[in-house]
Every structure is written in structure tokens, then in C-alpha cells.
Chain A
Amino acid sequence: MIELQHLERRYGDAYAVRDLNLKFPEGELTALLGPSGCGKTTTLRMINRLTEPSAGRVLLGGRDTRDLRPEELRRGLGYVIQQIGLFPHLTVAQNVATVPELLGWDRRRTARRVDDLLELVGLDPAVYRAKKPGELSGGQAQRVGVARALAADPPVLLMDEPFGALDPLARDRLQDAFKDIQQRLRKTVVLVTHDIDEALRLGDRIALMHAGTLAQFGTPDDLIHRPASPFVRHFLGEDAVLRQLAGRAAAEFVRPGDPAGLPRIADTLDARSALGVMLREGSDALAVLREGVPLGVLRWDDLRVREAQARKAQA
């Protein structure tokens, strides 16, 4: 879908991005991860040409993006930024309608689309349509930001630390909401973040950058279990597995079994917390309950050896 070939951006003598080769798989969310200043934003902005590359090229569906007018290119790529950038003089509905209006959609179609999108991002259209951005909380405003980026149904969504400015609670909720939305829409998403948890939680793939170059590209499991360099291992940290578990529900690991006598947890608990319960209770299995009804059993081995087993199976 999106392919970067020998992409490069220089500022004076310094490289912000250097010889970057990367293919963002269609319909998947790729987290562009890396420490501050490693060139994530620059890379993202070269995709929609807010920053022009010094060398190399960006292919979108096989076409060189330089062959398109920048405005046309950008109307086909949803764009969400950390500062959200809602226009304060326009209502929520008018903000969401920005790109459809630029594309010349008729009024009724636009109005219908705006309502659909507000519902998609979890905001009641009747309540929020006519509000001004100044009346929204940070989380609500970013939901509108996402709705606005999706307005013209672009196949690609470019997001630069979209949840970065939110408090932890709002961030968690919005990440969950966005995961749901992405599961339904299957956009090709490039999500810039320096937050490892966020990358592990939302990314189908992770592209880890280091000083303007690509350190590793792969699934979260690839990066955690097969780091390509000491930098990758060091950046993810020794607790990367725990972080990954934190992003998954305990229910994902449940297998049938006899829950009698086991400590109980709710199926909504995340897997890292479930592990914490095991340690606290000194038990290597837990009964998982959905609304009080036993669902099955979560075993220590299932959390522990999943990846090791996979490797053995391959050998």
C-alpha cells in the first residue's frame, strides 16, 4: 500500500531520516516507534508531503506520490496530530465535514456521514454536532479529530502521537475505542509513537527507528523475541513481555478446564494483572469469570511459553 524507497531527509548537514526502506502492509496498523528525535514525524510527513524528501520516493498503491498534486494526495490520506488541530471557530460537525466539503460532496451526504462518524467514535451526534471544540474534553476533541480524518473514508490514516496529550485514563479509553474502530475499518494506519506500550497494544507491526534509520520492522512478537540488535532489545526493555501482556485481555488466553478452587478473576482483566494475581496468590492457574459465570482456566504455561512453543514447533 505505502512503500518508502531510499527515503531521505536532510536539514543542513544533518540527516533527520536516512535511506529508509519500508513497506506498510495494507489494512494493518504499523506503529512507527522510536526515541525522541529519531525521525518519526519527519517520516510520516514525507508520506503526505507536508515535508518534501531530500532523496528517495514514496509509493502509494504503486504510484509515486510526486505525480499527484499535494492537495489531492492529502485529501486521500487521513491525518491526525497530537495537538488535534480542531478549528475553534467551527462546530464539531463543520470540523468533521472539512474534507468532504473540499471534495465537493453535497450537503445531505456530508451531514449523514458526519453523524455516522460521530457515532463511530462514540459521540452522540445529537449532543455533539453543534458544539464548539472549546466545549470538549481532550479525549472528546481527539475523537472528533479521528472522525475528521476518517470523513472522506480514506484508505490510509496517518497519526502523529494522536493520544500523546491525553491523561492516562482518557488515553486508555481512546486506545481501546480506536482498536475497535480499526478492527472494523481495516485501514492502512501509520501511527507515530514513542510509547512502547501503545505500540505493543495497537500495532499489528512495529517499525522501530533509531537515528533516522530503521532498526527493525516486524510484529511485536518479532521485536520482543527476535530483536535484530542490542538497540532493539534495550529500547523495548527487559519487561517488554509484561508490557505486551498488559495490552491483552486475560480472556484471550483462556482454555477449558475445571475452575474449582482456583482464585478468580474477571475476563476483562488484562493478562499482566492476571499474572500479578498468580504471583500474589501463589497459584499457577486462575478461574476466569465472565459476569460471574466461569469461562475457563488461565494457566501460567499459556502465558509463559506461547512464543517458545511456537519456536519449537517451527524447528
Chain B
Amino acid sequence: MTSVPASRRPSRVPWGVIVWPALLAFCLLPGVLPRLVQPLTAGERLTFEPPLWQLTLTHLGLVLLATGVVLLIGVPLAVVVTRPGREALRHLTETLVGLGQTVPTFAVLALAVPALGFGWAPTLLGLIVYGLVPVVSNGVAGLLSVEGHLLDAARGMGMSPWQRLQRVELPLALPVLLAGVRTSTVYNVGTATIGAALGAGGLGAPIINGLSQQNPGLVLVGAVLAALLALSLDALLGLVVSSPLSPAE
């Protein structure tokens, strides 16, 4: 097979990486969104305290913190349960993680409040429980998809279990794992809006205020910003997934 010269490769310019963050930044400029939603607010000019950019940063912080914890827990968990002879543990984990997804978000948060109080803690807990699902299931799927003969070859050449994991299994599982991280993070941008109900702040705040004040303009501000944030993260993480880090097929 001859290799395709670089210039002839289909160039997939990831427009989203530029467009969505740019749009998000534009909407965060002082006064832009309030003016855009003015027709919905009966002519009233909305003001925000704290400002919208701060709400967005809080929101992003919540989501990224959750993703970080999810990675710290999820990846080792996926590794541990995919070692040979741990099939029972793997099934148990998959069941538990799946269960996490079927319990409504609101229930998790409501249950967490009595234990953890209001604020960031219960919100983070909810995000972590939800974020774990795609990371663990994709991590497990990725690790299990590594073909047996590759592991056999690695063992036959004298790699220790740790070297096999590090040099063969994780690199090969990486694309699938990263897809799970992307899903987890993007979904959590939406889930995190509920955090405002628990006093965690973020982009849920205008939405909840809008609901209680029957102000659709406010709801729209929160929804638009959350959507743009999700699209931006999705595009950026998509860049990582298709980077040269991931193996060629």
C-alpha cells in the first residue's frame, strides 16, 4: 500500500473549535445577551449579579472538577475490573454504574443534600455519579477490545503486567476511553444547571430565576450559554480524540 501524501488527506477543519467558543465569548460581552433577549422580557433590560462570565466560569469549574474526579476514579476502576479472573467484579461494577444512570439526577441530588448540605458538594456528587457511567463503560469496552494475541505477544516478549497495561492496553483503549470522557463532560454541562437549585451557582441560576419570575428571557440566557459551553467543550474534546495520540486503525 502506498501512503497518501499529507496534502491529499481529506482536511477536516474542526470549525467547531473556533466557532462555538467565539460565539460563547461574544455572548458574554457585557450587554450583548440582555439586548438580544429584550423582546422576551417586556422591554426590561436584564442585569446580572454576579456577571454572566462569572456564572459561566463557575459552571465550567464545576464540570471540569467533576470530570477530573471521574477520571481519577473511573480509569483505575476500569483497569481493575478488566484484569483476568475479575469477571464477576466487572459485571457488578457495570450493573452499579448502570444503576447510577437510571436513578433520576434530581433524586441523587435530593438524597445528597441531607448528607452534604447545600452548595457545591451535592452537585459535584451528582455530576460524578453521572459522569462515571460513560467513562467506566467505555474504559472497560476499550480495554476488553484489545485483542488477545497482542497481549500474548506482549507477555511472550517479557513485559510485566504493568508494562503491558502502560504500553499496549491503555494506548489501544485510549480512543474509546476519550470518547467516553467527551460524552461524560458534555452531558454534565447540562446536568450541572440543576446545581443552581442547590446553591452551587453556575448557569442554572438564570434559568431557575427565570422560572420563578416567569421570565422566559432569563431562562433563555442560561440555556443559550449552557448550550454554547457544551458545544465548545464537545469540539475541544473532539480535537483530543482525533489527535495523533490515538492509534491509526
Contact = CB atoms under 8 A, between A and B. Distances in A.
Interface of A: 48, 50, 70-75, 79, 81, 83-89, 98-99, 102, 131-132, 134-135, 148, 158
Contacts of A74: 155-158
B247 A88 contact: yes
A135 B3 contact: yes
Contact of A87 (B3, B152, B163, B168): B168
A257 to B, nearest CB: 49
Contacts of B3: 131, 135
B248 A102 contact: no
A131 B147 CA distance: 21
A75 B158 contact: yes
A134 B249 contact: yes
Given A71-B158, A88-B172, A102-B163, A79 B153 contact: yes
Given A48-B156, A74-B155, A134-B248, 14 more contacts: A70-B158, A71-B158, A75-B158, A79-B153, A79-B156, A83-B152, A85-B149, A85-B150, A85-B152, A85-B153, A88-B150, A88-B248, A89-B172, A158-B156
Nearest to A94: B167
B160 interface: yes
A89 B171 contact: yes
A150 to B, nearest CB: 12
B249 A81 contact: no
Interface string B167-178: 110011000000
B72 interface: no
B152 A50 contact: yes
13 contacts: A70-B158, A73-B158, A74-B155, A75-B158, A83-B152, A85-B153, A85-B154, A88-B249, A89-B247, A99-B158, A102-B157, A102-B163, A135-B3
B158 A135 contact: no
B249 A71 contact: no
A86 B157 CA distance: 11
Scoring B152, B157, B168 by chain A CB atoms within 10 A of each residue's CB, the highest score goes to: B157
B69 to A, nearest CB: 28
A81 B248 contact: no
B159 interface: yes
A50 B156 contact: yes
Contacts of A134: 248-249
B223 to A, nearest CB: 41
Nearest to B160: A71
B1 interface: yes
A18 B13 CA distance: 62
Contacts of B167: 87
Contacts of B154: 85, 87
A86 B248 CA distance: 13
A80 B157 CA distance: 9
A84 to B, nearest CB: 8
B157 A79 contact: yes
Contact of B149 (A48, A70, A83): A83
B248 A72 contact: no
